[in-house]
Chain A
Amino acid sequence: MTIAADTSILARRENTSGRLSDFFWRNPKILLLLMLTPPLLWLGVIYLGSLFALLLQSFFSIDDFSGLINYEFTLATYRQLLIPSNFDIILRTVVMAVLVTLASAVIAFPIAYYAARYARGKWKVIFYLGVMLPLWSSYLVKVYAWKLILAKEGIVTWALAKLNLLWVLDAWLSLPVVGGTSLSISYTGTFIVFIYVWMPFMILPIQAALERVPGNLIEASADLGGHPAQTFRYVLFPLALPGIIAGSIFTFSLTLGDYIIPQIIGSSRLFIGQAVYAQQGTAGNIPLAAAFTVVPIVIMGLYLWMAKRQGAFDAL
């Protein structure tokens, strides 16, 4: 090969850019290295570097008296995660993330199914933009919209009053756990806003999975006597599952790490994100904050591993 390269048909290029170009053509590895160095420096050094530095700090502890960080390897900070008040935070966040993911799947499925199987031409575009616009529009504006909606003097109370259904709202709010003095300071409110903000991330992967289901498969199921519910249970749902899992990666991860929604719409009980924010900010306990961030990382690691085994990444 080297001989062929040295006695190439074309004359060598004389100008600098030509010579450089020939050099890269003969040494693709060097070109690859040049292309990869800037992004790898940025992501590998700045991003991963800070990430590892943070994780390292979770193995340090904080001195209770001086408030200074004690740079000795210890698992004491992780033990603190298990004390009831901290463990409650983790449990609460995970339960919320699971519920939000399930509810998002239920709401997203009909939209995705309609868009994949029935929407054609103009309607296809309407459905696509109808999902993309809310998905990409401002996160804070979406949260703000729900502050307006769920406020005591807002549209929900107004609509229920018009329908003479205010007693339903009052009964719901008087329930333990999910209730509160108003919707905007209850778990119910937090739950609704989480669904609203993260559900669009569920639609597109489910739609992508459903696009690949041939329509005659559904018909075959019907022809063989399958009731629509059975068709859904045994044909449609298993085929859509990789899409649902792919979408749930987003809803689950985003809910786990969010600290703004529960702060603005919710009771005063903390979620993981808020705990991290409070520990690194006012409390100045970086090791505990770092240990708290390890929880979503580990959960997401397990989740991604499981999703990969289910083939969810093909649906992304």
Chain B
Amino acid sequence: MRSDRNNAAPLGLKIAAGAGLAFLHLPILLIFLYAFTTEEKSYQFPPPGYTLQWFAVTWNRPDVWAAMGLSVRVAAISTAIALVLGTLCAAAVSQTKFFGRETISLLVILPIALPGIITGIALRSAFSFAEIPFSFWTIVLGHATFCVVVVYNNAVARFRRVSGSLIEASMDLGADGFQTFRYIILPNIGTALLAGGMLAFALSFDEVIVTTFTAGQQSTLPIWMLEELVRPRQRPVTNVVAMVVVLLTFLPILGAYYLTRDGDQVAGGGK
């Protein structure tokens, strides 16, 4: 029995919360504005005029397409690897109790808990020590390592909610382990895996810190952007790319939210 739910928030709190959210969103909106500016040489505000020509210019840029293609391929393969490794780990940790279980959780989280630069330089020095030349696969190696944790977190949370009696019932009814996995476990954890996969994809698509150490001369989209940030050469094209990247990363985040929202409502609904 709580009566507090009808209380209105104090005005000061409303303003502080609203200002905080505005602080988070206005800079991103500004990117959208700059994609249409006619100004080429500076970041002048307000823009002197508006044009759509930079979209056409960007569309015809082979280097942007090449970087985008590499990023998508890296993200797809890393996500696939992370899905397999993360699900296996989550299944093992949540279905059984064994010695060293906590250590495995820590091991999975470590690549994302330690600053990215440490992962990056560690992999790079290992590559140079083992004389592995930089390639598509060295990028994937780095990305998959920190994507595992995203899939793992989503899968562990879902495994906790899949009731053990369902699995036992399936076994009692004569299904073997593989059938139980295929018809009982997989449908139950499917959306969590999809959500985890989408977030892993977004994470990999956007990653730059580890990638600078493992890419060599190859250019993913974030590396292309980083070069533009350090030495701006084509500001209008960068503006357009930045806007497209924002829109592209919104899709998997919204998708992941809709796939897992029921779980979130249960866990944090403040019932």
Q: Are A257 and B249 in contact (CB under 8 A)?
A: no
* Other-chain contact of A114, B14, B89, B226, B270 (Cβ < 8 Å): B14
Q: Are B225 and A141 in contact (CB under 8 A)?
A: yes
Pick out which of these stretches binds chain A: B2-10, B49-57, B59-67: B2-10
Q: Which residues of A contact B164 (CB under 8 A)?
A: none
Q: Are B85 and A50 in contact (CB under 8 A)?
A: no
Q: Which residues of B contact A153 (CB under 8 A)?
A: 42-45
Binary flags per residue of B117-128, CB closer than 8 Å to A gives 1, else 0: 111011111100
Q: Are A39 and B89 in contact (CB under 8 A)?
A: yes
Q: Which residues of B contact A146 (CB under 8 A)?
A: 27
Q: Are B209 and A260 in contact (CB under 8 A)?
A: yes
Closest to A200 in B: B24
Closest to A36 in B: B92
A51 CA to B107 CA, complexed, in Å: 12
Q: Are A38 and B85 in contact (CB under 8 A)?
A: yes
The A interface is mostly helix, strand or loop, or mixed, namely helix
Q: Judge whether B169 is part of the interface by a CB distance below 8 angstroms.
A: no
Q: Are B43 and A300 in contact (CB under 8 A)?
A: no
Closest to B92 in A: A35
Q: Are B107 and A48 in contact (CB under 8 A)?
A: yes
Q: Are B27 and A142 in contact (CB under 8 A)?
A: yes
Pick out which of these stretches binds chain B: A21-29, A74-82, A83-91, A165-173: A21-29
Q: Judge whether B229 is part of the interface by a CB distance below 8 angstroms.
A: yes
Q: Judge whether A147 is part of the interface by a CB distance below 8 angstroms.
A: yes
The B interface is mostly helix, strand or loop, or mixed, namely helix
Q: Judge whether A54 is part of the interface by a CB distance below 8 angstroms.
A: yes
Q: Judge whether A311 is part of the interface by a CB distance below 8 angstroms.
A: no
Q: Which residues of B contact A133 (CB under 8 A)?
A: 25, 250, 253
Q: Are B270 and A151 in contact (CB under 8 A)?
A: no
Q: Are A114 and B9 in contact (CB under 8 A)?
A: yes
Q: A53-B126, A107-B20, A128-B257 are in contact. Are A138 and B104 (CB under 8 A)?
A: no
Closest to A148 in B: B43
Q: Which residues of A contact B10 (CB under 8 A)?
A: 228
Q: A47-B111, A211-B268 are in contact. Are A42 and B177 (CB under 8 A)?
A: no
* Other-chain contact of B86, A32, A39, A127, A132 (Cβ < 8 Å): A39
Binary flags per residue of B232-268, CB closer than 8 Å to A gives 1, else 0: 0000001000100110011001100100010010001
* Other-chain contact of A22, B81, B123, B176, B202 (Cβ < 8 Å): B176
B89 to chain A, nearest CB (A): 4
* Other-chain contact of B21, A111, A113, A293 (Cβ < 8 Å): A111
Binary flags per residue of A256-275, CB closer than 8 Å to B gives 1, else 0: 11111001100000000100
Closest to A57 in B: B125
Q: Are B34 and A257 in contact (CB under 8 A)?
A: no
Q: Are A216 and B2 in contact (CB under 8 A)?
A: yes
Q: Are A143 and B229 in contact (CB under 8 A)?
A: yes
The 7 A-B pairs with the shortest beta carbon distances in the complex, nearest first, are A257-B115, A215-B4, A110-B16, A21-B176, A50-B126, A114-B17, A21-B177
Question: A residues near B, CB below 8 A?
Answer: 10, 13, 17-18, 20-22, 24-25, 28, 32, 35-36, 38-40, 42-44, 46-51, 53-54, 57, 107-108, 110-111, 113-118, 120, 125, 127-134, 136-149, 151, 153-155, 157-158, 196, 199-200, 207-208, 211, 214-216, 218-219, 228, 249, 253-254, 256-260, 263-264, 273, 276-277, 280, 286, 289-290, 293, 296-297, 300, 304
**Known contacts A148-B34, A258-B209, A263-B230; can you find 17 more A-B pairs with CB under 8 A?**
A10-B174, A20-B177, A20-B178, A35-B88, A39-B89, A46-B126, A50-B125, A53-B125, A107-B23, A111-B16, A140-B206, A145-B27, A216-B4, A228-B10, A257-B114, A258-B115, A258-B117
- Pairs A–B under 8 Å by Cβ, sample size 21: A18-B176, A35-B89, A36-B104, A38-B88, A39-B86, A43-B110, A43-B148, A110-B16, A114-B13, A118-B7, A128-B264, A133-B25, A139-B206, A139-B222, A144-B225, A145-B242, A148-B30, A215-B4, A276-B121, A280-B121, A286-B125
